[in-house]
Structure 1
Amino acid sequence: MLALSLLLAFPVSTLGWSLTGPSAVVDLAVVRGVESGNVEKFLGIPFAKAPRFKLPVPVPRYYGIVDAKEYGPSCPQQLTSSSLTARSLEEVNVPRQLLRRDGSAESEDCLSLNIIKPKIARASDKLPVVVWIYGGGFEVGSTLGYDDVSTRVVEKSIAAGTPVIHVAMNYRVSALGFLASKEVKKERLGNFGLYDQRVALQWVQKYIRSFGGDPGKVTIWGQSAGAISVTLQMLAFNGKTDGLFHAGFMQSGAPIPVGDITNGQADYDALVAQTGCSKSKNTLDCLRKVPFPTLQAAINASPNFLSYNSLALAWTPRVDGVFIKDEPFKMVQQGRVAKIPIVNGNMDDEATIFSTSQSNITTEADFREYIKSIYVKKATDAELEPLWSLYPSTPSEGSPYDTGDDNALYPQYKRIASFQGDLVFQAPRRHFLQSISGKQKIWSYLSKNLKAVSGPYGSFHGADIQYGLFDDYLIQFVNTFNPNLPSGPNWPEYTKESPDLYTFTDTAAPSVTPDKFRAEPIDYLIQLASTQPQ
């Protein structure tokens, strides 16, 4: 009866199966996937249950036949909106994952993972493993939305003669993944989405041998919120990897300046009010029980990363005292971070696509009020005074950089894009790398690709993933824990004494430049963020 109850808890299909096609054995089950060219895909494998606003419950054991021929449902997505026009999207091909849903079914029971492997790989091969964590502002994202990226990486690794096993997991996003309040803190919970990722990494350790992977050589890889997630996994439980991963590759994301989980109280209270839970004696328990459409409508009413509030996220990882013990900036400064080899870099114009919904900000006074009311509500006027000259209204000083006075979508656009890009991406990366340099192997980069073809968005956030700019370096890193290709210019390690960036452009081979651009304003933002965590 016990085996039957476990099977019912994590149902698998057992009827109507052909015995052809790729398969793998896990526990007392056969996992059956599909072939796609020279790769095999095992899709939608459930790895945990996701009880609402509680920690994930891992699959205890597999029995029977696991149907792994189709992607599982995505975790519920927050509705996002943007002022970007359809024409502008077509012109620069802004990653679709940031702007619209991928069309997949959604379910709260969404914790599944996918494995893409070379067809020739056998269980005894012990190939290096790359585990992908998708981005999406911690509000949207799914593994299905990146199927083309995931497949492309594995196919390129085969062609290069350095094959890898690719794993990707769905994890909870938006309020379902990152609800924050005193009520959540009281139960010593929070950061459910990060726990989901952690359980998936535990699954990899337990089962990846069955698919030809080496559990002793796992690189976690992410972009945007996925890259931030990689760094937070490095900070988890005061820097413990628990042997779950051995290297990290981060594109456009570093430990962000967030504070205590109670800082999310206002958005929690709004959710409680909009779901009719205000009069409940236990509002968190009420939120767990409200009909999902009611909860989803309330979540969709909260600010999103493409709305006016932009990157001042409502639903984001925060300090819960358990998974994230302290403010990430402090933990990095104190060395409470996993000492593994990493690559961590940025695009040049990280925040342009997040700065299109503020077109009503046209004056100096508008800009100052926006920054004070959205990003640094507790800062004094004296503390903020340097910012106004460090981020001037002169279009030629703004982002997209190096484009003169061009590309000013509205009077304060390039200024806001510059400020947001530095605050959320460049300053956290520089602070992270300079704090841990000398303690582990580090490589960093700056991409100025696509400036000539993407107009007001420049080298925009997500372009590196969309166009596979770093696929070859990623594959090399997953195999050797060093991104240097067999041929090409040397990519030196990043140190505090020599903070070298491997810098990419459309017009020349990569070159080495110092990580000293906008030194004064970025140093100011690091100091400000350290004292004003969100």
Structure 2
Amino acid sequence: MRGLTPLLTCFYIITTSLAASISSLNAPLAFLDNGTFVGKHNGSADCYLGIPYAEPPARYRQAEPNHPYTGVHDATQFGFSCPGIQDSSSGSPYMTPLFNVLEAKFPGIENSTNPMNEDCLTANIWTPKGAGPGDSHPVVVFLYLGAFVYGGSSSYNGGFIVERSVQIGKPIVYVSINYRVAAFGFLPGEESRNAGVTNLGMRDQRQALRWIKRYIQNFGGDPNRVTIWGINAGAESVGCQMLANNGDTEGLFTGAVMQSGFPLPMNTYAQLQSSYDTLVNATNCTGHSDTLDCLRHVPYDDFYQAMLLVPTEDRLSGWQAIVDYDFIQGQPPSRMKAGLIARIPYIVADTDDEGTETAFFLPNITTDEEVADYVQQLALPGISDEQTAQVLELYPSDPAKGSPFGTGDANQVTPQFKRLSALIGDIEFHGWRRYFLNTTSDFQHGYSYVSKFYKDLEGVGSGTASDLPFLYGRGPLTDYLINFVREGTPNNGTAVYWPRWTKSSPQILSIANDSQPVEILEDTFRKEAIDLVVSLNLQHPE
């Protein structure tokens, strides 16, 4: 303690004594800079929750790196969730069983009860029990679902995955993070772009990855073996992180897993100018010489209520990842085709019935003519009458050929529901999964699966996120994930061999409930239809 002032000496004695006292209670400790973080035991894992990975963010400013840590910190509780629109479900009663399934495994996944605050940029770490700086376990970083307008890390218990990794003798470290969403994290418009604050949620993710690179060794993680994993909007984020910086990962991650989300054709910052203007009007910032600066200074409660006044359709379509020619430097499909993407191994996955949840939003489309109008005006806006006829021929009104697939005439919620579900699932999910594979698999190892879990959910079938509970637990998908994080391949020598997907041999893992086996299929289902809608979507983005 030589050279310390009396005040600092007193502080040092108090904090050191507190750390020693906590240590005597057998709580896990992590030491970052001059700070001590006190975690807790979680079964055969230790966890450290709510650690700030950046300075408290100023509204519509990029996140700044954290200052060196000092003192003793309680890391036993999650930090604040980032403010978002909490209820984004379709409201269909058919969704209730799926919500119940997800809620049982991930409390608060749809309507988080975790308090929200703009000071929300925190990370949570689960490690094998007793892991520390002397270890070097591979790391997986999870990015949550939520359509970029809601979500938070507190719903996801990484202990399930870490415990399983220890059980099978392949320990890994799990990290989840919070990042800004909705109007706070994805504000479009010329003003936002000129200030460099577009796609703030993804910029937050990048800052968190830099933090992990710097500090994960203190938790027993290997900073040179980091896999980023996301579902839905989180998966689209993973793809965009692969495309950012012209595909240069900066050494921040070495593998990727994408569930039900891929880099899609996007609106530009200018095309969504109306979303910016709507928020300006709702906050009474109209007429200010610097409307962005006005938005920065609107009191939080007023700002949040103004965000809720924006019509639902504008929330979901207006606050999204956008092409800003900065973080996202061009249209993702074009960037992929040009090879401007990280050359790392990856897994890309879909559920069998991705389109059902969106189709619930379209109960008033009941005739062939109304389906044609939807396709021509919304799904593939601007296609010709001849092209529309081609699409409808390949996606017929016969319910036995629609989604939920393989259920015959059952699940026809409305007269055109299964047809719309099949079409939407292929345009927004399966088609872009295949495009990703076709564009990149010659240059890096890619693996793909389709999940048929929960086919018995009426109307929904194997909808988006229905595979997620099978990754946060004990089973083949969890083991495949763990092995991929450790080895860059999902195969561990015990489960069904999962081949690499190639254009000459497009093989996909198909997995369902325990009564049905894991099997390898040719990824050629609905090939003619999917090839058509992807080619049209490239020319006519939604």
TM-score, length of structure 1 as denominator length: 0.91
Partner in structure 2 of residue 41 of structure 1: 47
Q: Which of the residues 24, 30, 36 maps onto 2:30?
A: 24
Equivalent of 2:63 in 26, 48, 56: 56
Superposition RMSD in Å: 2.3
Larger Rg, first or second structure (1 or 2): 2
Cα distance in 2 for residues equivalent to 1:26 and 1:68 = 12
The AA in structure 1 aligned to 2:82 is: C
**Of 68, 81, 84, which aligns to 1:74?**
81
Map 1:118-129 onto structure 2 (within 5 A). Answer: 118-129=128-139
The question of whether the paired residues in 2 share the 8 Å contact of 1:47 and 1:200 is answered with yes
Q: CA deviation at 1:373?
A: 4.2
- Distance in 2 (CA, whole Å) between partners of 1:130 and 1:296 is 32
CA distance in 2, matches of 1:112, 1:247: 22
Amino acid at match of 2:358: F
Structure 1 residues 208 and 501: CA distance shift in structure 2, 3 A = same
Aligned match of 1:475: 482
Asked if 2 retains the 8 angstrom alpha-carbon contact of 1:110 and 1:170, the reply is yes
User: For residue 8 of structure 1, what is the aligned residue in structure 2?
Assistant: none
Equivalents in 2 of 1:475, 1:315: separation in Å? 33
Q: Indicate yes or no: 2:428 matched with 1:420.
A: no
- 2:517 is matched with 509
Q: Secondary structure at the match of 2:60?
A: coil
Q: How many residues are paired up?
A: 515
Q: Is the 8 A contact 1:95 1:466 kept in 2?
A: yes
Distance 1:388 1:499 in 2: 26
**1:9 is matched with which residue?**
none
User: How does the TM-score come out when normalised to structure 2?
Assistant: 0.90
1:345 maps to which residue?
A: 349
* Alpha-carbon separation, structure 2, partners of 1:78 and 1:441: 37
- Indicate the residue corresponding to 2:9 in structure 1: none
Distance 1:163 1:207, change over 3 A: same
Tell which deviates more after alignment, 38-47 or 183-192. 183-192
Q: What is aligned with 1:110?
A: 120
Extract structure 1 runs of 4+ deviating beyond 6 A.
Answer: 13-17
How far off its partner does 1:81 sit? 4.3
Q: CA separation in 1, counterparts of 2:174 and 2:88?
A: 31
Give 5+ residue unaligned stretches, structure 2: 1-13
Please say if 1:389 is aligned against 2:393: yes
Q: From the superposition, tell whether residues 382 and 181 of structure 1 become closer, same or farther in structure 2 (CA, over 3 Å).
A: farther
Q: Counterpart of 1:464?
A: 467
Q: Secondary structure at the match of 2:371?
A: helix
Partner residue in 1 for 2:458: 455
Q: Secondary structure at the match of 1:114?
A: strand
Q: Which amino acid aligns with 1:355?
A: A
For the pair 1:365 / 2:369, whether they are aligned, the reply is yes
Task: Select the residue among 187, 198, 202 that pairs with 2:195.
Answer: 187
Cα deviation for residue 302 of structure 1 reads: 4.0
What is aligned with 1:4?
none
What is the CA–CA distance in structure 2 between the aligned matches of 1:222 and 1:128, rounded to whole Å?
Answer: 17
Q: Are the aligned partners of 1:302 and 1:314 in contact in 2 as well (CA < 8 Å)?
A: no
- What is the alpha-carbon distance in structure 2 between the residues aligned to residue 83 and residue 432 of structure 1? 28
Post-superposition offset of 1:83: 4.6
Supply the AA of the counterpart residue of 1:119: K
Q: Give, as a single letter, the amino acid of the residue that structure 1 aligns with 2:53.
A: F
Alignment match, 1:279:
287
| 1:488 is the counterpart of 2:498 | no
Is 1:399 aligned to residue 403 of structure 2?
Answer: yes
- What is the CA distance between 1:80 and its match in structure 2? 2.6
Q: Identify unmatched segments of 5+ residues in structure 1.
A: 1-12
Q: Distance in 2 between matches of 1:459 and 1:375?
A: 22
Which residue number corresponds to residue 320 of structure 1? 324
Please give the per-residue CA displacement for 1:355-410, whole angstroms capped at 9, x wherever unaligned.
21321222223323334444444545455443232322222222111111110111
Distance in 2, Cα, partners of 1:79 & 1:92: 14
The aligned counterpart of 1:230 is 238
CA positional deviation for 1:456: 1.2
Task: Supply the AA of the counterpart residue of 2:364.
Answer: N
Q: C-alpha distance in 2, partners of 1:409/1:333? A: 39
Distance in 2 (CA, whole Å) between partners of 1:360 and 1:297 is 30
Secondary structure of residue in 1 paired with 2:318: coil
Q: One-letter code of the match for 1:47? A: Y
Counterpart position of 1:438: 442
Indicate whether 1:134 and 2:144 are aligned: yes
State the SS of the aligned residue for 2:304: helix
1:298 to partner: Cα distance = 3.2
1:219 paired residue number: 227
Distance 1:135 1:81 in 2: 11
Match for 1:333: what amino acid? K
Q: Which residue of 1 aligns with 2:8?
A: none
Matched residue SS, 1:313? helix
Closer, same or farther in 2 for the Cα pair 1:91/1:260, shift >3 Å? closer
